[in-house]
Structure 1
Amino acid sequence: MEYILQPWPWYISGPLIAFIMFILIYLGKTFGMSSNLRTFCTIAGAGKKTEFFNFDWKSQKWNLTVVLGAVIGGYIAHFWLSNPVDIALNPNTVEQLSQLGFDNAGKSLLPPELFSWDAVFSLKGLLILIIGGFLVGFGTRYAGGCTSGHAITGLSSLQIPSLIAVIGFFIGGLIMVHLLFPLIF
């Protein structure tokens, strides 16, 4: 009998995330991927140029293991736990994506129109990466954290600013998908 790999159901992954959050809150730690970028910049010596990066990065070593775990977990999930089957998309979504130039909508999680090397190294691809990277970096700094930090840590510890940030992330995502994405493609 062939074993078909499936994503973990919400009733397994959700409580695991909650368990990790209880541990972090108990230990007085906060979680967020953007804080690791600050730590990497500090390790590279950015604290000599900008006061923001002048802090004791060794106090964040535990959070760097989160990055390592995300990389290892992503590798394991992609190469050992993935089930390469078509994605069940609504036919209306497939039609809309086809109109935007996505030829094989629903055939891959990473459409080659966005994630191939040809797409990345095109003028449009480079502009999207540069402008998008700037906007994400600016937004993360302006919001005081990233989506994972606010949505997981901030909401778990009942912080009103995180609730406002998460609402803003959703509104921004809706604007991107429904208004800007069709203009770009």
Structure 2
Amino acid sequence: MSWIYEPWPWYVSGPLIAATMAALLFAGKNFGMSSNLRTACAALGAGKNCDFFCFDWRGQRWNLFVMAGAVIGGFIAMHYLSGNPVPDISPEVIADLKQKGFESAGSNYLPTELFSNSAFSSVKIIALLLVGGFLVGFGARYAGGCTSGHAISGLSNLQLPSLIAVIGFFIGGLVMVHLLFPLLF
């Protein structure tokens, strides 16, 4: 059973994702994590105050189970199946991150300087998290979906808008890492 503690290779995980997408296509369903927020808000009654949330959310109930499964699966994987809690990161990347002030680089998956309770004592970090969260939410809504919806589901359906969105995601990621990240940190 030691195989469950290791990352799965592409030739296992890739076909599993493809099989899941094929099953969703045959069932007439579209996958996407950002649409779950709309479904959850509609289920909690937001449609009474905003027309955007006024739709039959019960037809998307299955997607809420996908979201819950992702959260529960991530928790189980991190706390019970993580054989190596220290990430395997390039020494050059670790040195670069430490130079930028991320002393926890190489010892944690998430930098504790941004994602620990002590991060909330810094106004700069709080502002970055709020602005970043807003931009991610706005971008997902503006693009008509998130990275998982466009890159997995949209490309599987051969949708041109999803291809354009995925190209934009990659360009945005490159701009963030190479231009904005050095300016912010």
TM-score range, shorter chain: over 0.9
Residue type at the aligned position of 1:137: G
Q: Does 1:155 align with 2:155?
A: yes
Q: Deviations over 1:111-148 (max 9, x none)?
A: 21111111134212221221111111111111000110
Q: Does 1:95 align with 2:95?
A: yes
For 1:156 and 1:165, locate their aligned partners in 2 and report how far apart those are by CA, in whole Å.
14
Q: Superposition pairs for residues 139-154 of structure 1, below 5 Å?
A: 139-154=139-154
Q: For structure 2, which runs of at least 5 residues remain unmatched after alignment?
A: none
Moved more, 103-112 or 143-152: 103-112
Partner residue, 1:62: 62
For 2:10 and 2:70, locate their aligned partners in 1 and report how far apart those are by CA, in whole Å.
19
Are the aligned partners of 2:104 and 2:113 in contact in 1 as well (CA < 8 Å)?
Answer: no
For 2:100 and 2:171, locate their aligned partners in 1 and report how far apart those are by CA, in whole Å.
22
Q: What is the CA-CA distance between 1:80 and the residue it aligns to?
A: 1.4
Q: For structure 1, which runs of at least 5 residues remain unmatched after alignment?
A: none
Q: Superposition pairs for residues 1-20 of structure 1, below 5 Å?
A: 3=2, 5-20=5-20
- Provide the secondary structure at the position in 2 that maps to 1:76: helix
- Provide the secondary structure at the position in 2 that maps to 1:83: coil
Q: What is the CA-CA distance between 1:84 and the residue it aligns to?
A: 2.7
Normalised to the residue count of structure 2, the TM-score between the two structures is 0.93
Q: Deviations over 1:156-184 (max 9, x none)?
A: 11111101100100110111111111122
Task: Report how many aligned residue pairs link the two structures.
Answer: 184
Q: Does 1:45 align with 2:45?
A: yes
Q: Deviations over 1:32-60 (max 9, x none)?
A: 01110001111222212211110001111
Q: Does 1:118 align with 2:101?
A: no
Q: What is the CA-CA distance between 1:3 and the residue it aligns to?
A: 4.5
Partner residue, 1:29: 29
Q: Does 1:128 align with 2:162?
A: no
Moved more, 18-27 or 35-44: 35-44
- Provide the secondary structure at the position in 2 that maps to 1:74: helix
Q: CA RMSD in A?
A: 1.6
Q: Percent sequence identity over matched residues?
A: 62
Normalised to the residue count of structure 1, the TM-score between the two structures is 0.93
For 1:183 and 1:172, locate their aligned partners in 2 and report how far apart those are by CA, in whole Å.
15
Q: What is the CA-CA distance between 1:85 and the residue it aligns to?
A: 4.8
For 2:163 and 2:8, locate their aligned partners in 1 and report how far apart those are by CA, in whole Å.
26
Residue type at the aligned position of 1:135: L
Q: Deviations over 1:53-97 (max 9, x none)?
A: 100011111111101110111111101111235433223212211
